């Protein structure tokens, strides 16, 4: 089998000839581009490019046809190797798809991590500001009222003392026996007496 290009007949031997012809056609294409680079010859250049591309495509199809016709003449060992290569190609394609999926999942997880980290920093910043405000408010109320709370008592018990002008008045009230309204009034009365 052979083909004719520019009046020269060349035999088709295999893929190396395709590569040689492909390089030859690309070189010829480059030479034509340089020669006809002017504005008037652009349509001529485009036509030549299309012709060269068609020649390249035809050569590739012809060589692929030659290679596929040669497959019938493979020995059993060669057929086994070809099938192993095909299996390896399929495995590679599957692994590439799995890798791409994993990379996409990793990207999504990294975006979620960044968002959660930003949210955590925002919440921690807000909580620390709120905590500072709460400490300031407690200190302010303690200085104004003189009430010192005892925090190690039972949950249903309000205990502590009022310290004003050197006078110490302890208190201990049960939330089960007294209402919150009563406890608040009792503490106000103790502060007024001090």
Question: CA torsion, points 49, 53, 55, 59, in degrees to nearest 10?
Answer: 160
Instruction: Name 168's Cβ contacts closer than 8 Å, sequence gap at least 6.
Output: 161, 162
Q: Is residue 28 classed as helix, strand or coil in its secondary structure?
A: helix
pLDDT digits (tens, 9 = 90+) for 66-95: 555 555 567 888 888 888 888 888 998 888
What's the Rg (C-alpha) of the chain?
45
0.95 exceeded by pTM: no
pLDDT digits (tens, 9 = 90+) for 94-104: 888 988 998 99
Angle subtended at Cα 141 by Cα 137 and Cα 142, rounded to the nearest 5 degrees: 115
């Amino acid at each position: 089998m052979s083909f004719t290009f520019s009046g020269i007949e060349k035999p088709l031997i295999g893929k190396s000839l395709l590569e040689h012809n492909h390089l030859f056609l690309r070189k010829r294409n480059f030479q034509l581009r340089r020669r006809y680079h002017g504005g008037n010859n652009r349509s001529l250049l485009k036509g030549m490019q299309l012709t060269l591309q068609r020649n390249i495509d035809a050569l590739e199809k012809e060589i692929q046809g030659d290679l596929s016709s040669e497959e019938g003449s493979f020995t059993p060992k060669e057929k086994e190797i070809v099938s192993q290569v095909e299996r390896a190609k399929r495995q590679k394609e599957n692994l590439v798809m799995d890798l791409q999926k994993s990379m996409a999942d990793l990207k999504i997880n990294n975006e979620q991590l960044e968002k959660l980290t930003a949210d955590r920093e925002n919440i921690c910043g807000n909580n620390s500001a709120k905590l500072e405000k709460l400490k300031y408010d407690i200190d302010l109320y303690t200085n104004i009222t003189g009430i010192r709370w005892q925090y190690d008592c039972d949950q249903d018990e309000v205990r502590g003392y009022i310290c004003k002008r050197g006078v110490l008045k302890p208190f201990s009230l049960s939330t089960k026996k007294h209402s919150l309204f009563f406890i608040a009034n009792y503490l106000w009365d103790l502060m007024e007496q001090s």
